[in-house]
Structure 1
């Protein structure tokens, strides 16, 4: 069981900020899908390999599957390699953090990414937090405000402590 810090919840990103994060990341995912479709068409026209034709014309279920795989890879790689930030989070100044104030583990990042592709998961934000936050013990926070409060608390704790030069 992870230690739960109230400072993390005090700096949770608002629903409006989370919506902007999602909107930016969704636009980027759409661009990625368009690029993949164009690439698969070009490769099919050059090689006549049926896989690339199927990749582009596999039907609704195939499109949903490919979209889910691409989304999981997209969110996992961005959050894992950029310390909890996707392009949307960069724009809004937010990041993913574990409820204990530490950097989430790779398992938490992967779980967040997998929970996101559950149909209608976005509607879970009508509660207190979305499944991909609550089930993985992570939160999306306003990082600047969080760091400011954390630094202030650290400075208060260090009052009277002798500094060594």
Structure 2
């Protein structure tokens, strides 16, 4: 079990900020879907390979399945390789961290991405934390404020300690 730090809870991103993060990321995901649809159409028209036709015309459930896979890959890769930030989080100054204040593990990032593709998971934010946060022991925080408080606490803790030049 991870140690839960109060400083992480104090700097949790607001629901409005989380909504903006999600909106930006969903716009980018929609653009990715459009690009993939155009590419698959072009490839189908050049090769007449039925897979590429099926990619665009597989029906409603197929679209949901493909969308879930693309969203999973998108969120996992962005958060894991950019230290807890997606483009939406970059724009709003937020970041994913573990409840103990450390960088989340690969498993936590993977789990966050999997929980996100559960239908209606976004409605879990009407409680305190969404499933992809609470089930993975992670939080999205306002990173600048979090760093400022950590720096202040560190400076207070170091009062009276001699510096060696």
* TM-score class, shorter: over 0.9
- Cα deviation per residue 1:114-161 (whole Å; 9 max; x = unaligned)? 100100000000000000000000000000000000000001111111
| Secondary structure of 2:75 counterpart | helix
- Cα deviation per residue 1:12-31 (whole Å; 9 max; x = unaligned)? 00000000000000000000
Structure 2: stretches of 5+ with no match in the other structure: none
For the residues of structure 2 that align with 1:67 and 1:110, how far apart are their CA atoms? Answer: 17
- Cα deviation per residue 1:91-120 (whole Å; 9 max; x = unaligned)? 110000000000000110010001001000
Question: What CA RMSD, in Å, does the superposition of the two structures yield over aligned residues?
Answer: 0.4
For the residues of structure 2 that align with 1:57 and 1:162, how far apart are their CA atoms? Answer: 70
TM-score, normalised on structure 1? 0.99
Structure 1: stretches of 5+ with no match in the other structure: none
**Corresponding residue number in structure 2 for 1:81:** 81
| Secondary structure of 1:160 counterpart | coil
**Corresponding residue number in structure 1 for 2:52:** 52
Q: After superposition, where does 1:37-48 map in structure 2 within 5 Å?
A: 37-48=37-48
1:15 is aligned to 2:52: no
Q: After superposition, where does 1:148-163 map in structure 2 within 5 Å?
A: 148-163=148-163
Show structure 1 runs of 4+ deviating over 6 A. none
